[in-house]
Amino acid sequence: MTSSKRFTPNLMDPFLRNGKSMILAYDQGLEHGPSADFDNRNIDPAFIVDIASRGGFNGIALQKGVAERYYDGKVPLIVKVNGKSALVKGEPISKQTCSVEYALSLGAKAVGYTIYLGSAHEAEMFAEFGRIQEEAHERGLAAITWVYPRGGAIANDTAKDVVAYAARAALELGADAAKIKYTGDTQSFSWATKAAGKTKVFMSGGPKAATDDAFLSQVRGAIDAGATGIAVGRNVWQHSEPLKMADLLKQVVFENLQVAAAPKPSS
Ligand code: FBP
């Protein structure tokens, strides 16, 4: 099977190690606000940038203001090129905050763009992502989309069919990778990884899980379902020992660690 000359299968290579990947996400300061997610340690972007390199992450996702001031070049960069605050209510929409050209000038190897699938405003985000994807590819950058089903039309954003729809939307819209929520089990998440086709699937983390094993078993389930990896934030940098959590994640993602065997860091 051949692909068109327009498809460059290796744009995600900077973020892969043996075909797998762990990306650290830190755009929550804009998406949720500092008081929702941060404490005195992780409110400092330098703390997170340090975790990314010392924790062996294969990428870090930042908004442009944080990237401009704190990115140290040690880990491949994804610049989020849209964003919104948690203050606006109603049908969600997230618009462009940074050009592809500017992301490239910051050292990005990929741009990230959130689409609220099912929102009354999805058409605007589809169109904007379409332009960004084409420009990113022209400039040799990967286009990664966070596809989050949301709005009045969505009853359950982690239902099997809804998550598979998110994965498929990413493929149809030309994303190199899709960051999607976990469905809760390997079998149902497998449908999403199938739906994504050649678009690589990354599991999104969500709020910090009650126990380390609870989170690690989600990661195990996603990898077993065919995901390329994870793109997570709070479960790492809200952890009392982020580097120990990073080490456990590496073992699950790259070394096939079964979660029952995972040593537990104190949390
Ligand atoms: P987490 O692992 O902390 O959930 O981060 C993943 C992420 O996609 C962030 O990149 C983004 O800021 C946030 O989740 C969006 O969260 P929400 O689902 O509340 O919009």
DSSP string, the chain: ----TT--TTTTGGG-BTTBEEEEE--HHHHT-HHHH--TTTTSHHHHHHHHHHTT-SEEEEEHHHHHHH--SSS-EEEE-EE--SS--SS---EE-S-HHHHHHTTEEEEEEEE-TTSTTHHHHHHHHHHHHHHHHHTT-EEEEEE---STT-S-TTSHHHHHHHHHHHHHTT-SEEEE---SSHHHHHHHHHHTTTSEEEEE--SPPSSHHHHHHHHHHHHHTT--EEEESHHHHTSSSHHHHHHHHHHHHHH---GGGPPPPP-
Catalytic annotation present for 84? no
> In the CATH hierarchy, which fold is given to the domain comprising 9-261?
TIM Barrel (3.20.20)
How sure is the predictor about 42, in pLDDT bands with cuts at 50, 70 and 90? very high
Atom of ligand 1 nearest to the CA of 61: 10
The pLDDT value given to residue 3: 76
pLDDT tens digits, one per residue of 105-130: 999 999 999 999 999 999 999 999 99
Atom of ligand 1 nearest to the CA of 30: 12
Q: Which of 204, 218, 232 for mutating ligand 1's site (highest number of atoms within 8 Å of CB)?
A: 204
pLDDT tens digits, one per residue of 199-241: 999 999 999 999 999 999 999 999 999 999 999 999 999 999 9
Mean of the per-residue pLDDT values for the chain?
96
Binding-site residues, ligand 1, Cβ < 6 A:
25, 27-28, 31, 61, 146, 148, 204-206, 232-235
Catalytic annotation present for 70? no
Whole-prediction pTM = 0.95
Per annotation, catalytic residue among 109, 179, 208, 250:
179
The pLDDT value given to residue 55: 98
How sure is the predictor about 44, in pLDDT bands with cuts at 50, 70 and 90? very high
pLDDT tens digits, one per residue of 4-37: 888 999 999 999 999 999 999 999 999 999 999 9
Domain residue ranges in the chain:
9-261
